[in-house]
Amino acid sequence: MDSLGQIIDAAVRDHPNRVAVEDRDQIVTYRELVRQANSISDDLVSEGVFSGDRIGIYSHKSFKIVASILGILKAGAAYVPAGIDSPPARNAYVFEDCLVRAIIVEEELASDLQNACDRLIVLKELAPGLLLLEGPGAVRGAPPSSTDSPAYILYTSGSTGKPKGVTYSHRSALNFVQWCSQTVPVSDQDRFSSHAPFHFDLSIFDLFVCFGQGATLVLIDEETGKNPLELAKFIADKRISVWYSTPSVLSLLTQYGKPERYDYSALQLVLFAGEVFPIKYLSALASVWKQARFFNLYGPTETNVCTYFEIPNPIPSGQSQPFPIGKSCSHLACNAFDENGIEVRKGEKGELYVAGEIMSGYWNLPEKTAAAFFVDRSNTRWYKTGDIVEEDANGNYVYIGRKDRMVKRRGYRIELGEIESMLYKHPFIAEAAVVAVSDIDGGIQIKAFVQVTDQEHASSIKMKQYAIEVLPSYMIPDRFIFLSSLPKTTTDKIDYQQLKSI
């Protein structure tokens, strides 16, 4: 198999009449999904889309957009999804930076792009409710000649404030899909959740591992996905068997979704990734979903999943620390290095580096791409994750925190993630996020943003008293700020940049 697009062709040969996608109350078989994908591919080619072009996607989640993604791949192009919750100016930047040839956009959202992009015109109706728009750049790429050609480009936050495009080849994506299919217990009888937006790397598993098995993909609309009560019922009613999301989504479901009221006997596999899962919420969820196997998947967008760890269920009663991120995926290599590029020993802290079939690089940013990698003496090219880990006695990597979230104050090195971990142990803290900002004297001020479940504890004095009990004095936050909820990015992670501005 040479491309992601061929996955669906194999599925329709083996399972033409099986349900491929459930979209609200609409059921689409593999035969119909492929028919739609082929039609969209033909439309793209007839409108002048060549192999190697980039095609933007801007739409709510629907089976038509799933068909569009497959149609783009079948046309030999790469898809570039943008978030509907992102500012139009940001999405315009994404499409202009990527020099997309065309954009598939939901009709009701077309005005967002037309107002944000200078050179954007409606070409034609692509399918009912979808439009094909001429992209702002319309500059062609080189025709793909191998599996190293781009399959998709996902834009992630950049340190300069401008998002940067993480480019994935067909080869890298297929290696990931194959690893998943061989490692986690999935089959053609499964019903996969599609919770993550398509511009988030979790969606690669949802789409292509599901279709690679000939299973059913159950789309979850944005409103349901953000409502714990509705989501808890949805998972049970739709008989989801494979779930994948960020821990924050599952934490909210555990706290507010009342999952104990529903029948989850169909649920067999729960995957989570993107951030640390506070142990108190993970334990509570595992006690309800007793029959499911839980996996902690780790990896930045640049590597997709690079390590994994199966969580024991039931979780030991004495477990107080988050579980490890585990061992390297078999199709990749992981190692921890110090600041001088020297491999650290087991039990020592180091930055996690990843080698193998990962991103090709950042789109049109050769200098940033070069800076993101380290080449060792054997000429192995390692991606520098920026995450600090240490290897435990069992050979599992333990996540310590972000390298760029480590600050120095009063002569001490402080990992902000460690403060968060201790705050999460408070019985009435539902969410916690810690940021460091410069004060007027040039020093470092630590702010802790918390959401509490009991307003009696919404007191800085009480929080300070708790922090004194569990943290060394130099790690105690200077300020506690209480919020009804912590701001999130479009991929359901805590938005630290927004918190820094509060």
CATH code assigned at 221: 3.40.50.980
**Helix residue ranges per DSSP H, 53-183:** 63-74, 88-97, 110-116, 170-183
Count Cβ atoms below 10 Å from residue 452 Cβ, excluding itself.
22
Same domain? 48 vs 181 = no
Determine, yes or no, domain membership for 39.
Answer: yes
Determine, yes or no, domain membership for 98.
Answer: yes
Same domain? 237 vs 341 = no
Q: 30-46 and 63-74 are packed helices; what angle lies between their axes, rounded to 10 degrees?
A: 60
| Average pLDDT for 167-179 | 97
Determine, yes or no, domain membership for 322.
Answer: no
Same domain? 119 vs 146 = yes
Same domain? 474 vs 454 = yes
| Average pLDDT for 217-239 | 96
Q: Does the pLDDT value for residue 367 go beyond 90?
A: yes
pTM of the model: 0.86
Same domain? 186 vs 226 = yes
Same domain? 441 vs 467 = yes
Using CB atoms within 10 A of its CB, is residue 58 exposed (0-12), middle (13-18) or buried (19+)?
buried
Give the whole-angstrom CA distance, residue 105 versus residue 62.
Answer: 12
Same domain? 193 vs 304 = yes
CATH of the domain at 390: 2.30.38.10
CATH of the domain at 84: 3.40.50.12780
Give the whole-angstrom CA distance, residue 208 versus residue 73.
Answer: 12
Give the whole-angstrom CA distance, residue 414 versus residue 422.
Answer: 13
Q: How confident is the model at residue 112 (pLDDT cuts 50, 70, 90)?
A: confident
Give the whole-angstrom CA distance, residue 363 versus residue 166.
Answer: 6
Q: How confident is the model at residue 140 (pLDDT cuts 50, 70, 90)?
A: low
Determine, yes or no, domain membership for 21.
Answer: no
Say what the pLDDT of residue 141 is. 56
Any idea which of 10-19, 111-120, 230-239, 479-488 has the lowest mean pLDDT? 111-120
Longest dimension (CA), the chain: 68
Mean pLDDT of the chain: 91
Q: Which residues pair with 271 in a beta bridge?
A: 244, 295
Q: How confident is the model at residue 261 (pLDDT cuts 50, 70, 90)?
A: very high
Q: How many Å separate Cα 281 from the centre of its chain?
A: 20
Which residue, of 142, 167, 192, is where some domain finishes? 167
| Average pLDDT for 453-472 | 88
DSSP string, 65-92: HHHHHHHHHHTT-EEEE--TTS-HHHHH
Q: Does the pLDDT value for residue 418 go beyond 90?
A: no
Same domain? 140 vs 49 = yes
Which residue, of 250, 282, 317, is where some domain finishes? 317
Determine, yes or no, domain membership for 323.
Answer: no
Give the whole-angstrom CA distance, residue 102 versus residue 47.
Answer: 9
Which residue, of 167, 199, 228, is where some domain finishes? 167
Say what the pLDDT of residue 410 is. 67
Q: Is the peptide bond before 312 cis (omega within 30 degrees of 0)?
A: no
CATH of the domain at 487: 3.30.300.30
Question: With contact defined as beta carbons under 8 Å apart, do 76 and 70 qualify?
Answer: no
Number of folded domains in the chain?
A: 4
Q: Does the pLDDT value for residue 440 go beyond 70?
A: no
Determine, yes or no, domain membership for 17.
Answer: no
Determine, yes or no, domain membership for 19.
Answer: no
Q: Which of 40, 77, 20, 68 is nearest to 211 (CA)?
A: 20
Q: How confident is the model at residue 409 (pLDDT cuts 50, 70, 90)?
A: confident
Q: What residues make up the domain containing 363?
A: 332-400
Any idea which of 155-159, 294-298, 479-483 has the lowest mean pLDDT? 155-159
Same domain? 386 vs 280 = no
Give the whole-angstrom CA distance, residue 169 versus residue 101.
Answer: 18
Q: Does the pLDDT value for residue 472 go beyond 90?
A: no
Any idea which of 139-148, 301-310, 348-357, 371-380 has the lowest mean pLDDT? 139-148
Q: How confident is the model at residue 160 (pLDDT cuts 50, 70, 90)?
A: low
Inter-residue long-range contacts of 200-204, CB under 8 Å, 24+ positions, other chains counted: 200/154, 200/490, 200/491, 201/154, 201/166, 201/301, 201/304, 202/244, 202/245, 202/246, 202/273, 202/274, 202/491, 204/152, 204/168, 204/173, 204/176, 204/177, 204/304
Determine, yes or no, domain membership for 325.
Answer: no
Same domain? 282 vs 343 = no
Say what the pLDDT of residue 43 is. 92
Count Cβ atoms below 10 Å from residue 444 Cβ, excluding itself.
15
Same domain? 390 vs 414 = no
- Higher local confidence (pLDDT), 467 or 444: 467
Same domain? 252 vs 273 = yes
Q: How confident is the model at residue 85 (pLDDT cuts 50, 70, 90)?
A: confident
